């Protein structure tokens, strides 16, 4: 009952935000068009904007319906999913762009008023012909950018996988684990933007690295039970000498954690607050998997239960979907934690060499390698996409090699 209430509340908030953004965008457009366009041009632009919003909302509604039926696996479903993603991206891009322009405009007006007071002249808000033309052309450029940018970004190489070869040095690494290799993939998100064939392509690349062990750190599916069969069929392609291991993520819970777990536990070693002891070259390695470490009532990780009965002398490798759990892992003496969840920000705009990564504002650990004393964390940016069909952060497959030093 609680989960259903939270889901309804989430949907209400999302609908409110989407409606609010559309109202803000339309109001800004009307103000600009009414002031700087001729009436005929304004009417044409307004019809186009209204049509764009109507079609976009139809895509959103159709996307919600398809999520419940699994119909996105068809070609029309893929078109709807793509259209919904591009529209949603365009909406967010337009809202943020207009908001930034508005803030900059108010700041410039404020500075101008101060200068006018200092000089003793009155503030004259009249528009010269040149300024009027500049704002008119600038507004048209904004409309063009909003229309083109999400489409261009969606064509970015989301299948251009970055193979990261990451050595990991541990001072007290058991000698038998020297040179041991294992791969990590994360955030597959089987669903609208990740088909069975897409997954098989990824798994073929992983196998081609010849890891001795493979880890999958959560978010096998996107958010629906209909996405389970594709990942269940494809994941059997993964092969490694010491097996394939995985742990659940937050999106697996959105789809139904028990159903995801039941479907995959016979295909791979899916660890849900438990561990497995491996003997490698006469040495002991304990691989641990905790459930999604969310917050409040969505916190399902139990490291105490997962490590109960574990050999305290073994080298420890923990799979935790959320990297924030690294704090807890380090306190418990875990040698290495593997995480995902952040997507590295997935879409990270860059301006004049500066990156604007929203994920970095909300996560302590966003991507790559981190240390806390002798304890280490690696955050994989994932191979899938969520929300919108675009990535500027290249999808990642990581191959680790344990080294002593």
Of 395, 257, 281, 377, the C-alpha closest to 322 is: 377
Which are the contacts of 272, defined by CB distance < 8 A and separation ≥ 6?
247, 248, 261, 289, 291
pLDDT given at position 16: 86
Determine the pLDDT at residue 1.
42
Q: What is the pLDDT of residue 400?
A: 98
Q: Are 345 and 358 in contact (CB under 8 A)?
A: yes
What does DSSP say about strands 375-379 and 274-280: parallel, antiparallel, or unpaired?
A: unpaired
Rounded Cα distance between 34 and 42, Å, is: 7
Note the pLDDT of residue 288: 98
What per-residue confidence (pLDDT) applies to 100? Answer: 83
Domains of the chain: 2-154 (no CATH), 162-404 (3.60.21.10)
Q: Tokens 């500027």 correspond to what residue?
A: 392
Within 10 Å of residue 128's Cβ, how many Cβ atoms? 8
Is there a contact between 343 and 162 (Cβ–Cβ < 8 Å)?
no
Question: In this structure, are residues 356 and 92 in contact, taking their beta carbons and an 8 Å threshold?
Answer: no
Distance, C-alpha 93 to centroid of its chain: 17
Residues 301/314, Cβ–Cβ less than 8 Å: no
405 residues of the chain, pLDDT tens digit each: 445 665 677 678 878 888 898 999 888 888 888 877 788 888 888 888 888 899 989 988 887 777 666 566 667 777 877 788 888 888 888 888 888 888 888 887 788 778 777 766 555 555 566 666 777 677 777 777 776 777 666 666 567 899 999 999 999 999 999 999 999 999 999 988 898 999 999 999 999 999 999 999 999 998 888 899 999 999 999 999 999 999 999 999 988 999 999 999 999 999 999 999 999 999 999 999 999 999 887 899 999 999 999 999 999 999 999 999 999 999 999 999 999 999 999 988 776 677 778 788 889 999 999 999 999 999 999 999 987 788 889 999 999 999 998
Strand ranges across the sheet with 315-319: 274-280, 283-289, 315-319, 336-339, 375-379, 368-372
d(CA 154, CA 148): 10
Could you give phi then psi for residue 315, rounded to 5 degrees?
Answer: -75, 135
* 162-170/396-404 β-pairing: parallel
Q: What is the pLDDT of residue 184?
A: 98
pLDDT at 167: 98
CA torsion sign for 313, 319, 325, 326 is positive
Residue 124 phi, psi dihedral angles, 5° rounding = -115, 105
Q: What is the predicted pLDDT for the residue at 331?
A: 96
pLDDT of residue 253: 93
Annotate 367-392 with b (16+ C-beta within 10 A) or e (fewer).
beebeeeebbbbbbbbbbbbbbbbbb
């Amino acid at each position: 009952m609680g989960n259903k209430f939270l889901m309804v509340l989430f949907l209400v908030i999302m609908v409110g935000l989407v409606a609010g953004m559309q109202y803000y965008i339309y109001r800004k457009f009307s103000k600009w068009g009414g002031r700087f366009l001729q009436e005929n041009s304004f009417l044409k632009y307004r019809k186009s904007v209204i049509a764009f919003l109507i079609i976009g909302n139809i895509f959103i509604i159709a996307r919600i319906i398809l999520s419940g039926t699994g119909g996105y696996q068809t070609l029309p479903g893929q078109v709807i999913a793509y259209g919904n993603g591009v529209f949603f991206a365009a909406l967010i891009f337009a809202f943020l762009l207009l908001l930034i322009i508005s803030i900059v405009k108010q700041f410039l007006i404020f500075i101008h008023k101060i200068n006018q007071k200092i000089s003793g002249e009155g503030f004259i808000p009249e528009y010269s012909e040149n300024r009027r033309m500049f704002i008119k052309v600038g507004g048209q450029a904004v409309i063009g950018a909003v229309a083109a940018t999400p489409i261009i970004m969606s064509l970015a190489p989301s299948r251009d996988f970055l193979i990261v070869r990451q050595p990991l040095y541990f001072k007290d690494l058991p000698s038998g684990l020297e040179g041991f290799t294992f791969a990590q993939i994360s955030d597959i998100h089987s669903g609208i933007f990740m088909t069975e064939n897409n997954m098989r392509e990824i798994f073929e690349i992983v196998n081609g690295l010849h890891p001795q062990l493979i880890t999958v750190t959560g978010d096998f599916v996107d958010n629906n039970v209909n996405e389970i069969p594709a990942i269940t069929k494809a994941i059997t392609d993964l092969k490694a000498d010491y097996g394939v291991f995985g742990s659940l993520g937050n999106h697996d819970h959105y789809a139904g954690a028990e159903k995801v777990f039941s479907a995959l536990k016979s295909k791979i070693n899916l660890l849900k607050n438990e561990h497995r002891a491996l003997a490698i070259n006469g040495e002991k390695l304990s691989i641990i998997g905790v459930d999604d470490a969310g917050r409040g009532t969505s916190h399902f990780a139990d490291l105490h239960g997962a490590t109960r009965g574990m050999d305290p002398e073994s080298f420890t490798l923990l799979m935790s979907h959320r990297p924030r759990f690294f704090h807890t892992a380090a306190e418990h003496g875990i040698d290495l934690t593997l995480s995902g969840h952040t997507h590295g920000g997935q879409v990270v705009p860059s301006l004049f060499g500066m990156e604007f990564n929203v994920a970095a504002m909300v996560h302590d650990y966003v991507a790559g390698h981190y240390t806390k004393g002798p304890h280490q964390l690696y955050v994989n940016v994932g191979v899938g996409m969520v929300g919108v069909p675009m990535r500027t952060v290249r999808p990642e497959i990581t191959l680790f090699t344990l080294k002593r030093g």
